[in-house]
Structure 1
Amino acid sequence: MRFTFTPEQESFAATLDKLLAGAGTVAAARAWAEDDTAPGLALWQRLAEQGVNALLVPEESGGMGASGVELAIAFEALGRHAVPGPWVESAAYLPLALADTTVLCELAEGAVASVAVAPHVPRALDADLATHLYAADAAGNLATAAVGERAHSVDPTRRLYAVTAGDQVATGDPAAAFDAAVVATAAQLLGAGERILDDAVTYVKQRRQFGREIGSYQAIKHQLADVRIALDFARPLVFGAALSLGTPEGSRDASAAKVACADAVYLASRVGLQVHGAIGYTAEFDLSLWLMKVRALVTAWGTPAHHRAAILDALVAAGA
């Protein structure tokens, strides 16, 4: 059996990539890191007009009720272009975790929301910008939240805040919501890895040493080929997990996708940094945006150790 995108999904992916390629996302990300969120919020609204925020919101709440595949397509594009903002929280987790129709309608229309989910997401991303801010306990029960002290991330575009829980709110399906957030994060990682590899290939074709492009050396070719293979093996796990969201295998598949993407994209970041040489270490060089994002996303929404343990538990339970 062959699995491919539908024409509608291919069109959605192409539309997002074209929009983001011309939207100045690097400048928006750098401004976001300096607390100038206006360019990023303008981009947020443009993406909301394309339906990104409404993908998982049920149709009865004004959303699209789309499958996880569209979610993964969108988040791969967000990762590829380093788009800042609490996208996982607003477009992946809360549409499934909330049961408030009014809030869900606002999310579908592009409202900015964020959430802290104990114990894996202890701080809320961009909480100071959120129209709707929540905290979830270990059981997934949601409560309204107030913004607390700011913390710092290795990725300066991730503006993290402690939150204080308030009144309980109606909760939807927190387990499915967490799985969707994990898949969205894995897709973001995949997009970032693809961007790092593309930039590395472009650079090694331009950089000359000893009279020839460094990309002509076998040692560099082999490293880049290893990255290509790793990303190609991770991709089916992401979209397989996207297809299985909401099924009994959903949590296991989401964890497998996150582990595979974390490993593949961490390799991509190491190789990308190595082939760029000293310039890759500079914050002014755009590669740094993706390197730091990868480092943060590897442990976001569950560490690799947590997800490996979850996979093991699922396999043991299946064999029992």
Structure 2
Amino acid sequence: MQHTDDDLLLDPVRRFLAEQCSLTALRGALRADKPLAGGASGGASGGVSGPGPGPASLPSGKVAAEDAHCDGRIFARLWSQLCELGWPGLLVGEAHGGIGLGMPQAVKVMELAGSALLPLPLGTWMNTSAFLSEQAAHSPVSQWFDRCMHDGRLAGFAIRAGENRLFVPYCRHDRQILTLSYGEGKVRARVADGIAGVPGIDPFIHNGWLDAPAWQIQDDFACNKASWDAFEQRSRMLLAAELLGVATRALDIASAYARERQQFGRPIGSFQAIKHRLAQDWIDLDNARLLLTQAAASMALENTGRAQVGHELPDQKVRRDAELAGHAFAADVPDRTDLDMSEVTGTAYTAETTLMAILAEHTILQAASAAVRNALQVHGAMGMTWECDVHFYLKRAHFLCAMMNHWHTDADRLQQVWQLSAGRMAI
């Protein structure tokens, strides 16, 4: 059997997650393996009858059950192991001490992390570490970040929810918090002390709100808008890959249950109402994976500066010829007779990359939302119980969808697809 380079990377990742991040181990991190008071079971049932994870908003973190808190030592040990293996530096160039791989490999690792319900912000760490090493390798915040990874210390990544208010997922009182914002040609990096969060809809992830933070490190460094946009685009793609892994694993669990559960003397998976739904979920997730793969490959080519004719993705040469002829992206190409050919190609290529990323993100959100809801419904009443594993995947999907909707809503994504596809769609 022939093995590819990706197999050599992903096989050890699978083995590590199976051994160190099994659902049994994650359940063991809960101080009491039972439903939250008004939290966990309610979240599962709400996912079946409600609108699904897509339009969810960031969780408030108000959960009352004291015995539902996670044992942070288990997750701290898991993160320390990941740092020893170098996973947070997967996107960092070898010149800066990282592994030096690209987005095609990163999204596959994050899909496996999602499948294992890894309760750590691995994708955000990978992307932020690469961004800081490229833009401000010797800045105070980059040096602090490197020390955290060297020591195996996990940091939280805050999301601005107002002028002076931060939402902090994956937070702990012993973890410092990093927030990055962009404006006027520079990145503002701020580090604050950690806060003690509480579980939100996902019992394995603590969230918290921080008002008027006291900054321990304040660091500004120059950055162009294109680099910042690429950073945010990579963040969204890595979250989308994690969500895809969550939904794929939920579908696998539902399919296995449908083959085992007997009703009227037959496995319930033989009934059309169930097997057709599961088959459609598989098709939708596979289509989403193909889009994600192409978007990641497009990002990799763009980042390495190889947006030339000989390195284009399938069918892009035809599109590029049409673009140069004025049939597409005409509004993006400046009206200049002395325009350099590589400049035109780069403009069209950036638009192509953005379009592929938004399509992948939107498709994954839609497919994953349906798949996790259907997985729970296939289990029937059993899916509503704490003992059934599938509800953990529904809740993680809710959480990840809320994080992704922080950047764009479904309406925003569709509008961007429409604008970037101008001149390419027959209506």
Q: TM-score range by the shorter chain?
A: 0.7 to 0.9
2:109 to 67, 70, 74: 74
Map of 2:207 onto structure 1 = 160
Q: Distance in 2 between matches of 1:111 and 1:178?
A: 23
Q: Which has the larger radius of gyration?
A: 2
> Match of 1:117, as an amino acid?
I
Asked whether the 8 Å contact 2:358–2:413 carries over to 1, the reply is yes
> Match of 1:297, as an amino acid?
L
Give the 3 Å change call, closer, same or farther, for CA 107–312 of structure 1 in structure 2. farther
Give the 3 Å change call, closer, same or farther, for CA 81–57 of structure 1 in structure 2. same
1:281-292 to 2 correspondence within 5 Å? 281-292=384-395
1:1-320 to 2 correspondence within 5 Å? 7-30=4-27, 31=29, 34-97=69-132, 99=136, 100=139, 101-106=142-147, 109=150, 110-119=152-161, 122-128=166-172, 131-137=175-181, 139=183, 141-148=188-195, 150=197, 152-163=199-210, 164=213, 166=215, 167-171=217-221, 173-245=227-299, 247=302, 248-249=350-351, 250-303=353-406, 306=409, 308-310=411-413, 312-313=415-416, 315-316=418-419, 319=422
Deviation string for 1:20-68 (max 9, x for gaps)?
A: 1222421343316622022222222333333311112233332123201
The Cα of 1:254 is off from its aligned counterpart by 3.0
Local SS of the residue matching 2:100: coil
The Cα of 1:287 is off from its aligned counterpart by 1.1
Asked whether the 8 Å contact 1:28–1:84 carries over to 2, the reply is no
Asked whether the 8 Å contact 2:90–2:99 carries over to 1, the reply is yes
Give the 3 Å change call, closer, same or farther, for CA 91–310 of structure 1 in structure 2. same
Give the 3 Å change call, closer, same or farther, for CA 145–24 of structure 1 in structure 2. closer
Asked whether the 8 Å contact 2:76–2:153 carries over to 1, the reply is no
Q: Distance in 2 between matches of 1:259 and 1:304?
A: 12
Map of 1:3 onto structure 2 = none
> Match of 1:36, as an amino acid?
D
Q: Which moved more, 1:283-292 or 1:185-194?
A: 283-292
Give the 3 Å change call, closer, same or farther, for CA 226–310 of structure 1 in structure 2. closer
Give the 3 Å change call, closer, same or farther, for CA 243–103 of structure 1 in structure 2. farther
The TM-score normalised by the length of structure 2 is 0.66
Map of 2:326 onto structure 1 = none
The Cα of 1:185 is off from its aligned counterpart by 0.7
Unaligned runs of 5+ in 1: 1-5
Q: Which moved more, 1:277-286 or 1:155-164?
A: 155-164
Deviation string for 1:63-96 (max 9, x for gaps)?
A: 1232011210111011001111222332223431
Q: Distance in 1 between matches of 2:420 and 2:21?
A: 47
Q: Which moved more, 1:27-36 or 1:234-243?
A: 27-36
> Match of 1:293, as an amino acid?
R
Q: Which moved more, 1:76-85 or 1:255-264?
A: 255-264
> Match of 2:85, as an amino acid?
Q
Asked whether the 8 Å contact 1:192–1:294 carries over to 2, the reply is yes
Q: Distance in 2 between matches of 1:107 and 1:169?
A: 17
The Cα of 1:152 is off from its aligned counterpart by 4.8
Unaligned runs of 5+ in 2: 31-67, 303-349
Give me the CA root mean square deviation: 2.9
Give the 3 Å change call, closer, same or farther, for CA 150–131 of structure 1 in structure 2. closer
Q: Which moved more, 1:302-311 or 1:85-94?
A: 302-311
The Cα of 1:122 is off from its aligned counterpart by 4.6
Q: Which has the higher contact order (CA 8 A, sep 6+)?
A: 2
Q: Distance in 2 between matches of 1:129 and 1:251?
A: 37
Q: Distance in 2 between matches of 1:302 and 1:141?
A: 23
The TM-score normalised by the length of structure 1 is 0.86
Q: Distance in 1 between matches of 2:104 and 2:71?
A: 32
Asked whether the 8 Å contact 1:214–1:220 carries over to 2, the reply is yes
Q: Distance in 1 between matches of 2:19 and 2:7?
A: 19
Local SS of the residue matching 1:137: strand
